[in-house]
Amino acid sequence: MSIARKILENTFVQFGGKIITAVLSVFVLKMISGYLGTAGYGDYTTVYQYLAFFGIAADFGIFTITVKEMSKDAKKIPQILGNVLGLRTALALITMGLAAIVVFLIPSYSDTLIPMGVLIATLATIFTLLNGTVSSVLQVYLKMQYATIGLIVGKIASVAYIAAVVYYLYVGKIDTGFEHLIWAGVVGNFVMFAITTYYAQRYSKITYCFDFSYWKKIFITSLPYGVALVLNNIYFRLDVLLMTMILPHTKTLADGTTNCPATICGDTEAGLYGVGMRFLEMMIIIPVYYMNSVLPVMTRFLEEQSEKVKKIIQYSFDFLVATALPIMVGGYLLAVPIIRLISDEEFVSGSVYAYGSDIAVKFLMFAMFFSFINALFGFTLVVLNRQAQLMYINAACVLFNLVSNLIVIPYWGFRGAAATSIICELLILFLTFMAVKRALHFKLEYTTTWKTFLSAGIMGLVVSIGFYWMDGLWYIYQLALLVPLGAVIYGVMMLLTNAITPEMRELLKKK
């Protein structure tokens, strides 16, 4: 089997699993958003956005560095895995303990459900980090179908728990139900970790190792990339936390109404934005899966001083653009039926709030497109051992994001935050591309890119006309017809324009 086919199969196995879990996530999102409402869902979103800051500090880029190190020498995999497992467990306990303490000290979170939610969710984050460590073995061997099984079964367990809470156990008891919704994530992540560990043991012995000199080595190696990931996570999630800290919280007035939507409230803005972000998060995992599959191969080629690295970059660029563009166009045009599908009518523009989650989706689709390509150049800098450059780039974007959000959030709420995200992603794309270009002295070819844009443009035109004709129909009918229609039009146009070249098809057959 060709390397190209292995990479794509490993990517699409993970993507296929992600599609299944995304479908399950739609049910989860619809159940939780309908159960909690905009303000309650804002608190739910804040719990996980807050923990993500500490979770990425515990991850610290160690997964990527581990895959890279394991790819160099398969005989050392048990030793590397054992030590990384020990290091990551220690980091997880330290960071999650710190997160649990700090959340109770934040004044704006007092008298809300957020602190207790964070305390429970720390367990879910720990299981996620351990699962990522163990699955690195499966990534090296391009056997991520087993990790995908764990992901799906864990998600099913979580969905079952959530459904029991929403429809049976705690109907109308939102405060208690909120905590159990967080526990559902803990149960799901534990099941995922247990299944991934079971399969990973087929390829490597899994045990804790405490070679502190190796811990120091891997930590120092990961440090620049880890800091870069922390900074990247800050600018990606900072806006939600700033909304909940800067803007007032929803309050019930004497007449029984609330101060929102007359006032821009932090929890409702975070709730509306959070639904859009959830859709974005379902999409941006695709380039991460793809680049994790490419990483071992790219590392080997670089070790061999092979010019094939540049070819991998070109093919990866074409693939990521061709994947992101139709999602961006389709997501933008079908934002309203998408929000109706994944959440509640309350989240659609004009129903309760003038600007709903569909507006967030339209903004974030552009950020998603740039994020897909950013993954390519970010991972390439890691392969080139240029993590420090990535760190400085992300630091600049964090500073820009912080200053911009402090200015725009009080006036435009989540719309200002979404616009800032687009600019940040574009800035990172430009800076990482220039850094990789200087390091490898390569030049991208854009012939396929223009063909891809043409194909996506034709697809968008057909979908927009279809959406206009179907105005007023049930959103399920709109999506059930227009999404497959768009996919067929796009695929046909990619073939007619020869965007999928004979060379690419031949590449999949070569050894």
Element (H, E) at 144: none
Q: Which two tokens stand for residue 505?
A: 């098809």
In terms of pLDDT, which residue wins out, 58 or 91?
91
- DSSP assigned state of 250: P
Does pLDDT of 427 surpass 50? yes
CA angle 193, 11, 511 (to 5 degrees): 125
Predicted pLDDT at 67 = 64
Does pLDDT of 209 surpass 70? yes
In total, the chain counts a number of residues equal to 511
pTM equals 0.72
Does pLDDT of 5 surpass 60? no
Q: Which two tokens stand for residue 343?
A: 């959440």
DSSP SS3 for 252: strand
Average pLDDT over every residue of 246-264 = 67
Q: Which two tokens stand for residue 94?
A: 């330290």
Average pLDDT over every residue of 176-190 = 93
Could you state, in order of their start, the residue ranges of all structural domains in the chain?
A: 3-444
Predicted pLDDT at 444 = 87
Average pLDDT over every residue of 315-319 = 89
Q: How confident is the model at residue 479 (pLDDT cuts 50, 70, 90)?
A: very high
Predicted pLDDT at 257 = 60
Q: At what angle do helices 174-200 and 145-164 cross, to 10 degrees?
A: 160
Predicted pLDDT at 408 = 92
Average pLDDT over every residue of 288-294 = 75
Residues 6+ apart with CB under 8 A from 444: 313, 314, 317
Q: Decide if 192 contacts 127 (C-beta within 8 A).
A: yes
Angstrom distance (rounded) from CA 165 to CA 179: 10
Strand partners, 252: 258
Predicted pLDDT at 511 = 47
* Ranges 44-53, 64-73, 201-210, 431-440: which has the least confidence: 64-73
